[in-house]
Amino acid sequence: MELNGEQRIAAPRQKVWDALNDPRVLKACIPGCESLTQDGDSAFDAIVQAKVGPVRAKFTGRVELTDIRPPESYRISGEGKAGPAGVAKGSADVSLVEDGDGTVLNYVVKADVGGKLAQIGSRLVQSTANKYAADFFARFGDIVTSAVPIEAPAEAPTPAGAVATRAVTPVAQPAAADDANTAHLRRLNWALLAIIVVLIGFILAAH
């Protein structure tokens, strides 16, 4: 199963790239992300709650990043387990392309789902995936274009464990790259994006 998609974001590529590397942004945009921990240099474990029709799935996801080319593209491959709700695995190539004063985010997902997620039927899954994707990009777009303040972790995002905490406080300022934006953390942020893209991809491609 293969799925292609693109989303235009009304912000310059570097700004989109930076925002995608800001855990506070991603935290605010990804529906149901409960935790994220690093395991090794380029692998991350995440827990994301998703609801697809009657199936409530708590994904324990693991993603690995390769071919990271800031601010242009990377490849992710991942695997998520959701207990009785099913499993998902796949990979995605994601790229950012400059488009006038905006940026187009392209993704090509190859994915397979198993268990209840596969079985409940493509129509439910499709509409749910559409909603998840729309929600993510709407919030992401709003934040990147500074239309709304974001919610962010209370403490400065440094180690991976801090990102996984659920404590959030509103901040007045839009996210900006800061000195915490280490390579280590950048991967972490990419992992968050990877998870949501893969999830959306899995769901979209489930039929």
Choices 4-12, 17-25, 120-128, 141-149; region in contact with other proteins by CB under 8 A: 120-128
Backbone φ and ψ of 86, nearest 5°:
130, -165
The amino acid at residue 58 is K
- Does 23 contact other proteins by CB under 8 A? no
Among 40, 84, 100, 170, binds other proteins (CB under 8 A): 84
Task: Single out the residue of 112, 127, 138, 183 in contact with other proteins (rule: CB under 8 A).
Answer: 112
Taking residue 2's Cβ as centre, other Cβ atoms within 10 Å add up to: 10
Residue 48 touches other proteins, criterion: CB under 8 A: no
Cβ-based neighbour number of residue 30 at 10 Å: 23
Residue 39 found at the interface with other proteins (CB under 8 A): no
For residue 159, CA distances in Å to 128, 155, 172, 183 come to 33, 10, 23, 12
Q: Does 121 bind other proteins (CB under 8 A)?
A: yes
- Nearest Cα to Cα of residue 191 among 79, 84, 105: 79
Does 47 interact with other proteins (rule: CB under 8 A)? no
Catalog residues that contact other proteins under the rule CB under 8 A: 1, 58, 83-84, 86-87, 112-116, 118-124, 206-207
